[in-house]
């Protein structure tokens, strides 16, 4: 399944860093959401990307958007990663890669690592932007620009 701009975002439930169930319907369809899929905790590009999202988190919040990071790492890995880098946003563990498949996130490097893809979803649950790039920090710039545009349109 490949999602495109204009599609409704899939509904899902995953475990957060504390092992709690996170239901996407608690946010999607209620406010803007930025979901970013990344390959692996504690790797150079993924750490830089997470820290850049962290450093810009308040800007996303100011425009009414929530951030969610998703990878196939387990909850303990996410907990350690989140604590190490003081990440203020939700990290979700997609160990069986079910959500990755729902969002059409493919694997790279002979299926060993997930692609790095960011989705911006509006308050109606509609995908407004899909950005696919190995350049981790570029995701923050693109996502924040789209969130700002949507916030201005919805005023």
Q: What is the model's pLDDT at position 49?
A: 94
Write down the pLDDT at residue 31.
95
Give the rounded percent of residues in the chain with a pLDDT score beyond 90: 77
Query: Is 13 one of the annotated active-site residues of the chain?
Result: no
Question: What is the reported pLDDT for 133?
Answer: 86
Give 119-136 pLDDT, tens digit per residue.
Answer: 999 999 999 999 988 888
pLDDT of residue 112: 47
Q: Which of 9, 17, 34, 46 is catalytic?
A: 46
d(CA 25, CA 133): 27
- On the question of pLDDT at 1 being above 70, the answer is no
pLDDT tens-digit profile of 79-121? 999 999 999 999 999 999 899 889 988 765 444 455 789 999 9
């Amino acid at each position: 399944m490949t999602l495109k701009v204009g599609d409704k975002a899939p509904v899902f439930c995953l475990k957060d860093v504390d092992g709690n169930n996170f239901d996407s319907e608690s946010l999607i369809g209620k406010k803007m959401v930025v979901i970013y899929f990344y390959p692996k905790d504690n790797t150079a590009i993924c750490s830089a990307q997470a820290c850049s999202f962290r450093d810009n988190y308040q800007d996303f919040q100011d425009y009414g958007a929530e951030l969610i990071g998703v990878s196939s790492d387990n909850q303990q890995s996410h907990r350690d990663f989140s604590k190490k880098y003081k990440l203020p946003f939700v990290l979700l563990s997609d160990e069986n890669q079910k959500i990755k498949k729902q969002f059409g996130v493919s694997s790279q490097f002979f299926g060993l690592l997930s692609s790095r893809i960011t989705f911006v979803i509006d308050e109606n649950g509609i995908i407004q932007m899909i950005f696919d790039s190995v350049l981790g920090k570029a995701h923050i710039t693109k996502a924040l620009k789209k969130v700002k545009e949507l916030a201005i349109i919805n005023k």
